């Protein structure tokens, strides 16, 4: 398990590499609403999919690696766990 911050500056969701066997990432978000893109574009506080403070979910490893996030206001903290569905 690790934590990742989302601030007012757009950044990659996954900064440090995932384990080679990770197929999915379970995440939970606390502290701020965020915007997210997965198509290579950069999110802004007005552009991207909205994820609300308190949301959680499971993303594929490839989606997590491609995701870019920005906090709409304040700082959000993602807690993530790497999953391996073999």
Output the tens digit of pLDDT for each of the chain's 86 residues: 999 999 999 999 998 899 999 999 999 999 999 999 999 999 999 999 999 999 999 999 999 999 999 999 999 999 999 999 76
The alpha-helical segments, DSSP class H, found in 33-84 are 61-66
Closest CA to 2 of 10, 12, 11, 15: 15
Give pLDDT, residue 36.
Answer: 97
Domain ranges of the chain: 2-83
Give pLDDT, residue 59.
Answer: 95
What number does CATH give the domain 2-83?
2.60.120.10
Give pLDDT, residue 16.
Answer: 87
Closest CA to 45 of 73, 72, 77: 72
Give pLDDT, residue 86.
Answer: 64
Closest CA to 3 of 48, 15, 85, 86: 15
């Amino acid at each position: 398990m690790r934590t990742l911050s989302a601030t007012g500056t757009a950044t990659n969701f996954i900064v440090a590499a995932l384990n080679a066997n990770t197929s999915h990432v379970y995440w939970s978000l606390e502290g701020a609403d965020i915007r997210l893109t997965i198509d290579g574009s950069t999110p802004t506080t007005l552009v991207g999919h909205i994820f609300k403070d308190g949301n959680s979910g499971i993303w594929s490893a490839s989606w997590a690696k491609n995701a870019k996030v920005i906090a709409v206001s304040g700082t959000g903290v993602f807690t993530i766990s790497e999953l391996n569905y073999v």
